[in-house]
Structures are given as C-alpha cells and as structure tokens.
Amino acid sequence: MGNKRIDIIVPCYNEEQNIEAFYSEMQAVASQIKKSGAYENSYDFAYIFIDDGSKDGTLEQIRRVADQAAAGQTTVKYISFSRNFGKEAAMYAGLKASTDADFAVIMDADLQHPPRLIADMLQKVEETGCDSVAARRVSRKGEPKIRSVFARLFYKLMNKYCEIEIVDGAVDFRLMSKRMVKAIADMPETQRFSKGIFAWVGFDTQWIEFENVQRLSGETKWTVWGLTKYAIDGFIDFADSPLKFAGAFGGFIAAGSAIYLIVEIIKTIVMGKDTPGYASTICLILFFGGVIIAILGLIGEYIGRMYLETKSRPIYIEKESNISDTEEEQPIER
C-alpha cells in the first residue's frame, strides 16, 4: 500500500485545440482510478507537457492548464522547445523530466490514445509486476490503405533484419516503471527511434489492444515522405545487416570476376584472341558502376549518422519551462 506517482508525458505540436480536452478527459480518468479502490495502490497523477516548438497557441493552452491545475493541487510541468525538434525529442525530454515518479506514461495529445486504457495498464502492472505496458492498435481503420501496406512491410523487414523485435501496430502509448524510464533517459543517442529503443532496453512488457481512434482535432503531422524517412531511419538505427549484405555482395562479385578472368585467360591461350564483346563489356561496366555507387550511398547513410552522432548536439533546446533547474537531472555525461 502506498501512494504511487504517475507522470503523464504528452508531446504536443500544434495541438492548441486538443490540450484542454485532453487534460479534462485525462483528469476524469485519474479521479476515477483514485476513487475506484480497485487497485492495490493509490495513484497520484502529474503531467509533463512538451511543447515541440508549436506555431499555434499550444504553449498558451498548456500554461492555462498548468494554472488551472495548480488551483486544484495537481502538478503540471511543461517544457517548451525553441523550435520543432520532432516527437522523438519531445518524448525524450519528457522522460528525462520524469525523475521521481514511480511510473511514466507517454501518450499523444490528440486523444488517439484513450486515457481510459491507463486503468487497464495499471491493472496489468499490479497483476503481473511487469515494467511496461504498451498499447497496440488492432485495426488500422481510418488510415490510408497504402500507409497500412507500407507499415506492414516495414515491420516485416525490421523484425527480419534487426536485433530487436518490434510489434506491428505498437503505438507510442506506454506505461513504464521508473527503472525503465531511467534506462531510456540514459541512452544518449541523438538520432532516436523510440519504437526500437523501448524494445532494446528490454524489461518485461505486457500488451493491451485497442481499436484505432480518429484524432480529436487538427491533422496528423505525418507526411508520406516523413513516414518513409522515419522507417529508413528506424531500420538503419537498429540494423547493420545492409552493410553485411553489401560486403557479401561485393565478395561474391569479386570471386565471380576472378573465375571469369581465369576462364578468359585460358580461352585466349587455347583459342587465340577475338575482339567481339563490346556490348557485354559496357553492360558489365554500367552494372558494376551502379552497384558500387549504390553501396557507397548505403555506407554514406551510416557514415552520415556517425557524423551527426559525433557532433553530439543536444537532442532539443529548451526555450521555456516551469521546471526549476534544481529539480532537473544532471545532463548526460559522455
């Protein structure tokens, strides 16, 4: 028995129309959980909103909610970025700011992650003592067909070639124990792919399923290009098999050419010289030119990432926050 604290971490980018609705729905769930008495522990909810450089009134809305919450004895912390650093950076900032809570929950501001699921997540935690409960969409209803097809393909490739397993339909809606949060916040990589990181840090994860919900207001921030880039980044961040494949392919070609060369030499010695073969020569040159450039490009992708990683730029820059410096954790040492 005891009071446990749960930090609700909410990355927000241009969500001015959703913040208040999100907060009130979330608070309703929180008080229900408190009142129900169905749990072994009693839970206190606190919030960490991350304004990811929104261009609309998101920050004002967050400030309003924070004032409103203060009157009702609820803690609402917020961090506002100096520009849009992306959801990955926002989630990281939230996890870093969640230092003394027993659990942290990451969820979207657009109510596509139903707050009522948190009750189920807590139940799972109490039943199984696991470190993490994550949500999984069972349907992709309301999503463009083509997006679903590519998403499926991505998960197939990812799970085949990467060292980690990523569950199809898993969304960034997840409850985590303090030690799991700490493990993730201690990972200093600047190019973050959370779906992979959650799996990589390990810990016992339970899954709960839910039906896809439309976002409350506004539009998704994902474009086709954005999603494609996200998929490639995720793959490269967790797989080195493309490099191994490139190496193996090069070796195979080299061995083949060596054999071909020997055959040609023998043929020349035995049968004398003949000149035809211009077209096939050009074809081969072009083919291997293409292969070499493609493989160089592939290697370039990895080197480019190493370049960015070695610069070790901060993952985000804070413009404003209501979290006092003394409360914050020490920056990561490298």
**Contact set with ligand UDP (CB under 6 A):** 11-13, 15, 52, 84, 86-87, 90, 108-110, 112, 215, 220-222
Between 19 and 66, CB nearer to ligand UDP: 19
Contact pick of 14, 27, 98, 112 for Mg ion (by CB under 5 A): 112
CB of 51 to ligand UDP, least distance (A): 8
Between 45 and 173, CB nearer to Mg ion: 173
Between 178 and 193, CB nearer to ligand UDP: 193
* Residue at 152: amino acid letter: R
One-letter-per-residue 3-state SS of 60-87? HHHHHHHHHHHHCCCCEEEEEECCCCCH
End-to-end CA distance of the chain: 39
Distance, CA of 88 to CA of 66 (rounded, Å): 23
- Residue 141 CA: distances (Å) to CA of 65, 222, 230, 298, 314: 32, 16, 21, 35, 37
Distance, CA of 275 to CA of 279 (rounded, Å): 11
Smallest Cα–Cα separation from 81: which of 101, 62, 100, 67? 62
- Give me the numbers of helices (H) and strands (E) for the chain, helices first please: 10, 8
Between 52 and 237, CB nearer to ligand UDP: 52
Between 21 and 295, CB nearer to ligand UDP: 21
Answer for the pair 45, 77: CB distance below 8 angstroms, yes or no. Answer: no
Between 143 and 186, CB nearer to ligand UDP: 143
CB of 137 to ligand UDP, least distance (A): 10
Question: Does 172 participate in binding Mg ion (rule CB under 5 A)?
Answer: no
Helix axes 87-97, 178-185, angle to 10 degrees: 130
CB of 21 to ligand UDP, least distance (A): 12
CB of 165 to ligand UDP, least distance (A): 21
221 binds, among ligand UDP, Mg ion, none (CB under 5 to 8 A by kind): ligand UDP
CB of 106 to Mg ion, least distance (A): 13
* Residue at 19: amino acid letter: I
Contact pick of 110, 131, 172, 237 for Mg ion (by CB under 5 A): 110
Which tokens is 143 given?
């999503």
Q: CA 133, 136, 140: angle at the middle one, nearest 5?
A: 165
11 binds, among Mg ion, ligand UDP, none (CB under 5 to 8 A by kind): ligand UDP
Site string for Mg ion, 212-231 (x = CB under 5 A): ---x----------------
Residues at the interface with Mg ion (CB under 5 A): 108, 110, 112, 215
